[in-house]
Amino acid sequence: MTKAKRLLVINPNTSKEMTLVIQQSVDDSIKKLGGLMEATTTSADQGVASVEGSFDEAVSTYWTVDKVMTLLDEYDGVLIACFSHHISVKVLREATSKPVMHIMEAAILQSLPLGAKFSIVTDSAHWKPLLEEGIQSILGSMERCASVRSSGMTALDTVTLSVDQVMNKLLEASQLAIKEDGAEVILLGCAGMSQLKKDIEINLGVPVIDAVSAGVMSMVGLLLSNLFTSPCGMYTPLPSRPDEVSVPNQGIMMAYHSGAK
């Protein structure tokens, strides 16, 4: 029997509530695969409780990469469970040839066959330009994106407010995206929204994408196809040069001691 592939899913913030929501979505997705893949969900040990912008993303990247590098030998691929164009993905692609993806990329790619236009329903309005920049980077165009709509919450609100409060805010923003922007597919733009996918889809009557589940399923395809990150160009492997780097964290130094592999 073929050995199951092993996926590491990491929440780049330190919120235990968020990590539990992510784990539930990961576990539900893995159950559908009939033993083809195993997954472990974890989080950064230090950093920020929620990623609310570019500064938080930079801080969370350091601690995410440090955690991943200490665990990398045990896994076949890595999924970054943050709905942003999280820089840790590019960083890790230089540090390993194993497939690495974030859930925003996976959700966008999963939406493309389902409708001509997608909208992202995100947290605060601050994310609108950041996610639009990410879409441009991922697709090379904004043509397939109908809109990025704010639900007026923080990332932590999605796992600390009542389910009804979160649901109402997401439905309101989603309905506007469909009626006013022409969205045909809705992407839930925060890992903390995963638990509400089914109920929102029933209310809206259009496909709704849980980005965490999309990430797991995208990684299944990459891992079962035995694909790897190209060593040419953008993700040229990190050279070994520990004498030039001095940080107290084991995971970061592991990358510089061994070089990429």
Q: Are residues 227 and 99 in the same domain?
A: yes
Look at the chain and report how many structural domains it folds into: 2
Q: Are residues 72 and 128 in the same domain?
A: no
Q: Are residues 117 and 199 in the same domain?
A: yes
Percentage of the residues of the chain whose pLDDT score is greater than 70? 98
Percentage of the residues of the chain whose pLDDT score is greater than 90? 85
Domain limits for position 118: 105-210
Q: Are residues 100 and 123 in the same domain?
A: no
Return the half-sphere exposure (C-beta side, CA atoms, 13 A cut-off) of residue 206.
21
Q: How far apart are CA 240 and CA 256, in angstroms?
A: 5
Q: Are residues 9 and 99 in the same domain?
A: yes
The torsion angles phi and psi of 64, rounded to 5 degrees, stand at: -65, -50
Q: Are residues 90 and 115 in the same domain?
A: no
Of the candidate ranges 3-17, 219-233, 236-250, the one whose mean pLDDT is the lowest: 236-250
- The pLDDT tens digits of the residues spanning 121-136 come to 999 999 999 999 999 9
Q: Are residues 175 and 198 in the same domain?
A: yes
Q: Are residues 86 and 159 in the same domain?
A: no
Q: Is the pLDDT of residue 1 over 60?
A: no
182: its two tokens: 């022409």
Per-residue pLDDT, averaged over 97-101, amounts to: 97
Evaluated on CA atoms 33, 84, 86, 157, the torsion sign reads negative
CATH number of the domain within which 206 lies: 3.40.50.12500
Q: Are residues 111 and 201 in the same domain?
A: yes
